[in-house]
Chains A and B, each alone.
Chain A
Amino acid sequence: MWRRMIWLVLVALVALAAFIADLGTGPSRLGLGGALGGILRPDSLSGAEAAILWEVRLPQAVLAVLVGLALATAGAEMQTILDNPLASPFTLGVSSSASFGAALAIVLGIGIPGVPQTWLISANAFVFATIVVLVLQAVVRWRGSGTDILVLCGIALFFTFNALVALTQFLASQQALQQLVFWTMGSLSRASWDKVRVLALVLLVTLPFAQRAAWPMMALRLGEDRARSLGINIARLRLMALLRVSLMTSTAIAFVGTIGFVGLAGPHIARLLLGEDHRFLLPASALTGAAIMSLASVASKTIIPGVLIPIGIVTAMVGLPVFFSLIFNRRGTV
């Protein structure tokens, strides 16, 4: 218990350090001292520096943390409800459907009428991700909540939407194709305070419920029969978890594009450090995800100064070494 507490605090400190590092890096001369000073005393910065801090650095750094929290929490819940360590928030086709929604907006300009242009792509991505969730809900209600049927349906949806994305790519002009490819690689350059607010609200709504479901989820981890004998309504538990996962994932993807690996590796790293207890696993996963995102954001800004490398590429590059070292240093099973 104490050991887990200490690990949790350590992970939180790493996440905080990564966030501060993210705040202090960028292609301009505004360093960490200047950035922190600018937050505490807004009048200490010049106009350009203030614009860099409040329009670029802060929204991107905060959004990176929120996206990390959302994707890694969603990943941890997904791995439990599907009883599969290889599951991630994208397993059931939520990401490919969101990509298709974005592709429709980017390539064909098709979107929800009345949505302002700046939100069109995000709104489309969100709507399509939600469609997939509704289909999965229907499956759960109709055929019960067996993991096999869910995963098979998810895979079918994944391939369906991937094919549709490929079709729009095939039809796209070169310019739209470039935009679409960049979108699917994920980027924090689309950060804004509005998006930060929306994602923060989603997390405020979902995270407490995820934490409250930690105990029955823990029981589910031990096997369906055991969970049933404890009087847990498994179908309902899966359905609610699926709802949380989808809401977090689709909102995150809608704002930053598809950023892989965080939702898979965050929970795993947390599990390797703290074990299976969901009450600790969830916050640790979330903080690990935030740390991975912040570090990836630092790398995406600094590898080629002035140019943003899509963060989806970087998350894997940053997370993989950590992931490998944990796997190989661990005795026993993953």
Chain B
Amino acid sequence: MRRLVIILLAVIASAYVTLAALPAAADEGVVVTDITGRTVTLPRPAKRVLLAEGRQIIALSLLDPKPVDFIAAWLGDFRRNDSESYAQYRRKFPEIDQVPVLGIGSDGTFPVERAIEIKPDVAVLGISFAPGGRANDVARQLEAAGIPVVFTDFFVAPFEHTVASVRILGRVIGRDARADEFAEFYEPRMKRIADLVARANGPRPRVLLETHASVGDCCHAPGAGNIGRFIAFAGGDSISASVAPGPTAQLSLEYVIAANPDIYIATGGAHLKASGGLVIGPGFDPAAIRERLAAVVARPGFSGLSAVRNGRVHGLFHNIISTPLNLVAAEALARWIHPEAAREIDPDATISELNARFLAVPLQGVYWIDLK
């Protein structure tokens, strides 16, 4: 655990150094070192950004009070997969409906021609578009058309890349100071979790985190990567990390019963409304969320799990994980996994402060919940 903290701090420090070492002189344009280490020069801070991950509007929303003004075009993932959060943005910025939507939210549907036609100042792409990624042709074609490409990442390596990606975005749109301010907000809070976990003694509680929990078959759970790392970071022992060969796997119910997790966490959101799964996040009241969460743990075989018997059943808003607000998820996990040691950690207070100090569109809704 200590090692993880040291690595974390080292990475954060190195990202800080690389970025701080690049003075942005107005006359020689803006120089950005992106997450893959490429150096990109823009003539001036970008006014029109192509967002290849629509949900990164949240990162823009941290950096500027009018995030929608910066979006020249975006992919449809935020609109489609997080309809309730999108509605919150629309209430404040009705013009968001006019932002051109490229593709329907996956990198396989990216219409490069349309993107070139829109001619943004810069294209901010996720890591799946990077060289060696699934859709690296897109970046090549955009650059051939004279559109600078910058890579960020909030998904593959959230611990190493979250703050660095916010800084990259801040540099691109000329909001460096604001990005630094966010880093100063984010890093100590993450460190507080790491310290607290380092101090916690005794065996790590066993955790089952089921992604997109439904009332259908059990149990899709993450491997050791992205969300799985949050569990380890918050001091839990994920029962799926050791058995899932890929980023996600379907655990057998028998394995779940035999592993008998101490804590059960379901992730969900508005996208599960139709299928009877866990709804949570903006647009749902606690009673409705708890009703769905109760239905999820009422599936066959769950009643005997010690997590269910001891009332350690929780729900988490899935879409918060791959954004800069993953801090809230980390804090909620720490509270659930180490309720005693993490008493002073309050994700709601963090949300309030994020709303007051940073977010153009505040987080309003239930993002984490306990069944009891």
Given contacts A117-B276, A175-B271, A307-B251, contact A28 B216 (CB under 8 A): no
- B257 to A51, Cβ gap below 8 A? yes
- B257 to A56, Cβ gap below 8 A? yes
- B252 to A189, Cβ gap below 8 A? yes
Q: Contact residues of B with A, CB < 8 Å?
A: 77, 80-81, 104-106, 109, 211-212, 214-218, 220, 240, 242-245, 248-255, 257-260, 271-276, 295, 300-301, 303-304, 318
Within the assembled complex, what's the spacing in Å between the Cα atoms of A173 and B109? 12
Nearest CB of chain A from residue B264's CB, rounded to whole Å: 15
Q: Contact residues of A with B, CB < 8 Å?
A: 26-30, 47-48, 51-52, 55-57, 105-106, 108-110, 117-118, 120-121, 170-171, 173-176, 178-179, 182, 187, 189-190, 192, 301, 304-308, 310
> CB within 8 A of A307: which of B215, B252, B274, B304?
B252
Nearest CB of chain B from residue A64's CB, rounded to whole Å: 13
Given contacts A47-B304, A120-B276, A192-B300, contact A175 B252 (CB under 8 A): no
15 contacts between A and B (CB under 8 A): A27-B252, A51-B304, A52-B254, A56-B253, A117-B215, A118-B215, A170-B104, A173-B81, A173-B105, A176-B275, A182-B250, A301-B252, A301-B254, A306-B251, A307-B255
Q: Which residues of B contact A27 (CB under 8 A)?
A: 252, 254-255, 258
Within the assembled complex, what's the spacing in Å between the Cα atoms of A117 and B109? 31
Q: What 8 additional pairs, Cβ within 8 angstroms, besides A27-B255, A175-B212, A306-B242?
A: A52-B301, A56-B300, A57-B254, A118-B216, A120-B276, A173-B271, A175-B211, A189-B253
Within the assembled complex, what's the spacing in Å between the Cα atoms of A109 and B279? 14
Within the assembled complex, what's the spacing in Å between the Cα atoms of A308 and B252? 5
A-B contact count (CB 8 A): 120
- A171 to B257, Cβ gap below 8 A? no
Within the assembled complex, what's the spacing in Å between the Cα atoms of A301 and B258? 14
Within the assembled complex, what's the spacing in Å between the Cα atoms of A5 and B66? 80
- B243 to A307, Cβ gap below 8 A? yes
**Across the two chains, which residue of chain A brings its CB closest to B248?**
A178
- A190 to B250, Cβ gap below 8 A? no
- A56 to B301, Cβ gap below 8 A? yes
Within the assembled complex, what's the spacing in Å between the Cα atoms of A120 and B249? 23
- B304 to A305, Cβ gap below 8 A? no
Q: Which residues of B contact A175 (CB under 8 A)?
A: 81, 211-212, 271-272, 318
Nearest CB of chain A from residue B181's CB, rounded to whole Å: 32
Given contacts A26-B252, A56-B252, A190-B217, contact A174 B81 (CB under 8 A): yes
- A306 to B275, Cβ gap below 8 A? no
Nearest CB of chain B from residue A167's CB, rounded to whole Å: 12
> CB within 8 A of A304: which of B214, B243, B260?
B243
- B245 to A308, Cβ gap below 8 A? no
